[in-house]
Structure 1
Amino acid sequence: MHDLARIDLGRLTLFVTVVETGGFTAAADRLGLAKAVVSQQVARLERDLGVTLLARTTRRVTLTEAGEAFYGDCVPLLRQAEAVLDSAARDHAVPHGTLRVTASTDYAASVVAPLIAAFAAHYPALQIELIASNEVVDLVETRIDVAIRMGWLRDSSLHALQLGSFGQWLLASPAYLARAGAIERPEDLASHRWIALNLLSAPLHWQFERDGEAVPVRMRAPLRVNSPQVLHSLLLHDAGVSVLPDYLAHEEVLAGRLIRLLPEWALPRGGIYAVYPASRHLPAKSRAFIDFLKEFGAIPPL
């Protein structure tokens, strides 16, 4: 058995081409190389193997017995290598396999799931797994292809593409306001029942801005939750005042079930990002999904 592990596969290609074209000159013409280069590389292959593969005369090149046996081994090996390379190229060009996407639980349900339904219709052969989680997981370790992350990103070695942004709305139910009183300025919030979202880095500290004026407020929070969906439900059940992303609250505001408070006062906008592992070649499935998000929008129209 030939020890092919230590052989340069490029030299195998040169050798096979010489055999198939009938000589060094024709092989050099087919490959676009100098005849001397082809001859030298085949000679090095023979030296590495320790056998003579080709019998050379001034008129022709013929296979030796050892060369004929080696040629029979080489051809299927090279065809298999070509098939593997062709398959890898197709895989990079055409979405295939399983696309794993993660997003926060609220955004996955309200925005990402409908987008994935539309994306899946474009690529019916692609398997898609949506992981709804508020944990910031290691994308490489968990084999996540694309993460949709909200807010303000930390520095990392991951690639991030901003898809859009979202507003933060101050909200309460009509029944709560009827019971607790109107909120006319940010300072009024300090005396109201605040529902704190513990996922935030500073859930009790908020800064409102209007026409260059900045008003920081520290809230009093008898209720604390770790889920935007639970916060949303508590607001609807008249439990207090808090902030939700616009994409999670706009339907309730349009329907009158929640009231947007102090709309003339701005809270910082958060970013919406597609985050994916750093790689020289982005897989076709990830590239197609990110392009889809860019084209069709990552946030619903308000």
Structure 2
Amino acid sequence: MIDSYIELLTFSLVCKTLSITEAAKELNKSKAHVSRQLSNLEKRIGTTLFYRTTRSLTLTENGLALKDDALSLLNMSKNLDYKAYTVSQEISGRFCITIPTSIATSIFPLIILNLKQQFPKITFEIIVSNNVEPLLDKKIDMGIRLGITSDELIAHKVGEYQTILVSSNKSDENKENKDLTLIIDSFSSKGRLYISSINKEININEFKDVIFVNETATQLSLIQNGLGVGLVPSFVLSGIGQSNLFRIRSEYCSKPIEAYITYPYQTPLPEKLAAVSAFLREELHRYMNNK
């Protein structure tokens, strides 16, 4: 019975990735192990599930017939594993949160201090990433997301913010764009020539020069050292060490962007997750809406 389950779980992962290499990584097994499990399953049920070439895998007609049920099994297995991991009701132990760099380098140092005071027995693990990290796959308890959510997760809105133009030099307010260097987070801009604001589209070619960086800490450091002006989330001005930044060009701001905390659906909700969630919602709301 256990061997059959392992074969089916392996098949499910290969259905999801269509890659023996990727399935092996998720299972933390060798590619030979994955191939062997697939072969054992095909022998046991008496049918071929994949067409194999040296470069790709393709599901056969019989494989396609099993695909939806296999992916359901994979999802159920991950949920069961996550619930088993979070079954403890004591407000202690590990708690993992993934956050974007803009929050990590601005308001989160203030928030983590309050979290540790409120929950002294919890060991917090913080993953700073601008990627949408898979919470179940990586056993992450909670994610803070900016502007995006997932239908697979519980999401609580914690506030709104705007992208605003800031400088460390108040006199930049009176300068023309052609005399300023724009320092911009490439993760937020996605390389676009135009940046949306409420009243207009900002053509980045209007500026004397443009510097792209891939995370907020470097962007803020360059702005604070007077190397240019930058488009940053409005909550950045609430963070530690940002007192020397000033908002300029009030017309250069985006439409409101929503921020959320998210976590996998569970019932009943573990006490630790419920407590940290309630506290974080209040903390983030305070900084997000501090205009």
Residue 274 of structure 2: aligned partner: 287
Provide the rounded CA distance (Å) in 2 between the counterparts of 1:101 and 1:253: 23
Could you tell me which of 275, 283, 300 is aligned with 2:262?
275
Residue 141 of structure 2: aligned partner: 145
Q: CA RMSD in A?
A: 3.1
What number of residue pairs does the alignment pair up? 201
Could you tell me which of 215, 238, 246 is aligned with 1:227?
215
- Percent of pairs identical after alignment? 22
Please list every run of 5 or more consecutive structure 1 residues that lacks an aligned counterpart in the other structure. 1-87, 184-188
Please list every run of 5 or more consecutive structure 2 residues that lacks an aligned counterpart in the other structure. 1-83
Task: State the secondary structure of the residue aligned to 2:130.
Answer: coil
Residue 115 of structure 1: aligned partner: 111
Could you tell me which of 161, 165, 177 is aligned with 1:166?
161
Shift of 1:289: 0.7
Structure 1 outlier segments of 4+, above 4 Å: 90-93, 250-255
Q: Contact 1:204–1:219 at 8 Å: present in 2 too? A: yes
Q: Contact 1:101–1:144 at 8 Å: present in 2 too? A: yes
Q: Contact 1:99–1:127 at 8 Å: present in 2 too? A: yes
Task: State the secondary structure of the residue aligned to 2:277.
Answer: helix
1:284–1:203 distance in 2 versus 1, CA, 3 Å: farther
Could you tell me which of 182, 202, 205 is aligned with 2:175?
182
Task: State the secondary structure of the residue aligned to 1:99.
Answer: strand
Residue 242 of structure 1: aligned partner: 230
* Equivalent AA in structure 2 for residue 243 of structure 1: L
Shift of 1:227: 1.1
Shift of 1:158: 1.6
Q: Contact 1:176–1:239 at 8 Å: present in 2 too? A: no
Residue 64 of structure 1: aligned partner: none
Is 1:106 paired with 2:95? no
Task: State the secondary structure of the residue aligned to 1:110.
Answer: coil
Match runs of 1:1-302 below 5 Å:
93-150=89-146, 152-174=147-169, 177=172, 182-183=175-176, 189=177, 192-200=180-188, 201-209=190-198, 214-220=199-205, 222-250=210-238, 255=243, 257-264=244-251, 266-300=253-287, 301-302=290-291
Give the TM-score, by structure 2 length. Answer: 0.59
* Equivalent AA in structure 2 for residue 182 of structure 1: K
Q: Look at both structures and tell me which one has the larger radius of gyration over its CA atoms.
A: 1
1:110–1:298 distance in 2 versus 1, CA, 3 Å: farther
Give the TM-score, by structure 1 length. Answer: 0.57
* Equivalent AA in structure 2 for residue 95 of structure 1: I
Provide the rounded CA distance (Å) in 1 between the counterparts of 2:133 and 2:241: 33
Higher mean C-alpha displacement, 101-110 vs 136-145: 101-110
Shift of 1:146: 0.6
1:284–1:204 distance in 2 versus 1, CA, 3 Å: farther
Provide the rounded CA distance (Å) in 2 between the counterparts of 1:207 and 1:190: 19
Residue 41 of structure 2: aligned partner: none
Shift of 1:164: 1.1
* Equivalent AA in structure 2 for residue 133 of structure 1: S
Provide the rounded CA distance (Å) in 2 between the counterparts of 1:270 and 1:260: 18
1:233-267 Cα deviation digits (max 9, x unpaired): 11122222321112223569984x33322225542
